[in-house]
Amino acid sequence: MTVSLEKIIKVGSYWVAMISERKITAEHTNEAVFVSGYKQPLVILLRHGTAMAAFAPEGIPVTREELETLCPGAWDAAMKAE
């Protein structure tokens, strides 16, 4: 499993980013290889000026400390986006 900060994009006067989780697995037999994977959002970051909000896709607020535990440096990177 990999947790990472996705590309930070500008929408009007807002900056939007996402922390996502990705997992890829591969298995094989003598005759075939099986590969599967998924990617899902964990946290959405929404910045307007110097104000930042972080929340789970379900709308539950995420604190800066929780975000930093999940993806170190993501908060600062989203604040510096230009």
Predicted confidence band at 33 (pLDDT cuts at 50, 70, 90)?
A: very high
Instruction: List the domain range (segments joined by +) for residue 43.
Output: 2-80
What pLDDT is recorded for position 82? 84
Do the beta carbons of residue 81 and residue 7 sit within 8 Å? no
What pLDDT is recorded for position 70? 94
How far is it, in rounded angstroms, from Cα 23 to Cα 26?
10
Predicted confidence band at 9 (pLDDT cuts at 50, 70, 90)?
A: very high
| Domains in the chain, number | 1
Q: What percent of the chain has pLDDT over 90?
A: 93
Structure tokens at 27: 């298995």
